Amino acid sequence: MPALPEAVPIHGLRPQPDALICSLASGFELRLPAHLARFLRPGHQIEFPSGSAAPSQFRVVLDAKQKPREILFCSVAHISHPKADRRGEYFLRGDVVEPVLGIGALILTSDAVRDYFYRSSADGGLYASLGIPATASPADLRLAYRLGILELQSHPNAAQKRRHLERAFNILAQPDLHACHDAVMLDPGKPVLFPYGGFGNILVEGTLSADGRSFFGHRILSFRADHRERRFRAAFRRIEFFDGYAIYRDSRRKVEALFDPGCLPLENALSTRAPWDSSWNQWKHLAGLKIGLEGVFVRTGKYRFRRGEWRLVTWETALPSRLRLTVSHDAAESIEQARKTYHRFGRYFDALAPLRARIEREPVERAEIQKVLDRFGVPGDFDPAMLSWRPDYDEFYYHELRKRSRRLYLHRGDYVFELENATIAETPEAGHATYLFSRADDLDAWVRAYANTTREDIRHNRGNVAEALGFIGRVNHGRNPRTWLNAVLAKAGASVSAATAPTSPAAVFVALLFIVYRYTISL
């Protein structure tokens, strides 16, 4: 059994705006979180790490004479799903961060979690807190929450009521927690989930185990989740749409955000029959739209079995109440165009399939593709470039090059643009660089030569192919499209005066000889 520090009586408490100053009989002062002022009193015995003026963990004995009652304040890294003990009663286990008092586990009863998060003083549960029926849609939930916040502006106890209102909305706006709340409404004995995984600081009332390593919590007094504010642009294609709500997930950023039509105003921009539905998942990848996402994200996680052991996988989840989404002015056009393109891929499949096969074999000019599409009656607003488009490609790069180009060729996964002073090869896929070449005198011959080499050959100038094609350099897409555009225009504008002269038919012939040489070696 670990040796625990001695409990010291609290002599006085001085609340401050950002902290609670706790003075001890010895004259030593502790700086504690401000929201704990309503739970501590002079005379309580406090146990904390020696020498720490701002302890991240402490234990308080409230009443040592009669039936002891204790409070534990600590940080938890994760609170598990409910499990049943030998008596059939449900409990949840949390891992204590840095157990400086020797307390490594927090054991919460399911009733404690239920009473703190899922119950309201009203008979109707959290629905009554928001003033809505149990059949309310996700958009109705958000509307009720916003109205409730407006009504609290003149309330004398607005801060506390706002916290309860926000907690009710954040639980009912999350499908798993919503279902958990509804189950408790029908049967109060049902086990419950700890919302959003339980990463944060908790103040809980209970008793210490006999060995001093676990704390059994019977009542949660306060919980503050670990959180931070984030702002970024989210790709529209990463959103999964359901009836009434949608979820954005990004494995690279390790974030997710759940939202409803009330905070993503796509239906207003589109002026269509209704908000989204699950059918949007069929064509969302064709829209290069990005959505501005800003809000408060809390840490969450799950244990997953990997490589023979259980590992805690953590990420961040946006609180629905603190989430703000913005869309660009051209969102309606981008989404409608993606929807039309998807339908045309199916309707004109007989015309598009042979064109795709031809593009895989040889370079084809965009104007020639357009003539074939016209013969099959494909509407004129269908861009032939969509035949090679990749779902994760940002349309910004294509549009900036297209409006500056004279001609455009499609071959396999590449676009070849002829600009005034340069030739540019672009792969319509995230993570690829833009390759710049000096302007070719005979673009048809140049494109055929380019189509029979590789970017790796060009980078290493194998067989002098880079010089033959007039390679100037490459520009990575990067994170800032504007930086990419400035770099491309600078290289393209300097191409005439660069050391590499404009590509001549003789240079193209050298490139063709290199291709024949490679083919002979491979045989």
- If asked whether residues 17 and 90 sit together in one domain, one would say yes
114 DSSP assignment: I
Residue 254: give its domain's CATH number. 2.40.50
Q: How do strand 433-438 and strand 471-476 relate by DSSP bridges? A: antiparallel
Buried b (16+ CB within 10 A) or exposed e, 271-289: eeeebbeeebeebbbbbbb
Same domain for 265 and 177: no
Number of H helices, E strands in the chain: 15, 24
The tens digit of pLDDT for each residue in 240-265 reads 998 888 999 998 889 999 988 878 76
181 and 91 within one domain: yes
341 occurs within a structural domain: no
In a domain, 424, yes or no: yes
337 domain residue, yes or no: no
Nearest CA to 450 out of 400, 512, 516, 381 is that of 512
Asked whether residue 241 falls in the same domain as residue 93, the answer is: no
pTM for the whole structure: 0.76
For 313-356, write each residue's pLDDT tens digit: 889 999 999 999 988 887 888 888 888 889 989 999 988 999 99
Cβ–Cβ under 8 Å, residues 484 and 492 = no
Residues 144 and 243 in one domain: no
pLDDT at 521: 47
238 with 221, same domain?
no
Owning domain of residue 472: 348-522
Give the whole-angstrom CA distance, residue 300 versus residue 297.
9
Least confident stretch, 15-24, 176-185, 270-279, 347-356: 270-279
Q: Is residue 339 part of a domain?
A: no
What Rg do the C-alpha atoms of the chain give, in angstroms?
32
How many structural domains are present in the chain? Answer: 3
Same domain membership, residue 214 and residue 357: no
397 is a domain residue: yes
Query: Which of 181, 206, 225 finishes a domain?
Result: 225
Q: Pick the closest to residue 204 from 73, 81, 96 (CA basis).
A: 73
208 and 67 within one domain: yes
Contact 200, 76 (CB under 8 A): yes
Which residue matches tokens 């539905």? Answer: 277
Query: Does the residue 476 lie in any domain?
Result: yes
Question: Which of 36, 198, 7, 226 lies closest to 105 in space, CA to CA?
Answer: 198
Q: Are residues 315 and 354 in the same domain?
A: no
**Residue 2 resides in a domain:** no
> Which of 183, 208, 225 delimits the end of a domain?
225
Higher pLDDT, 123 or 145: 145
My answer on whether 145 and 92 are in the same domain is yes
Q: Give strand pairing partners of 217.
A: 108, 206
Residue 460 Cα to chain centre, angstroms: 38
440 and 502 fall within a common domain: yes
Q: Are 236 and 217 contained in the same domain?
A: no
For 18, 52, 79, 140, the CA distances from 37, given in Å and listed in that order, are 11, 19, 25, 36
DSSP state, residue 503: B
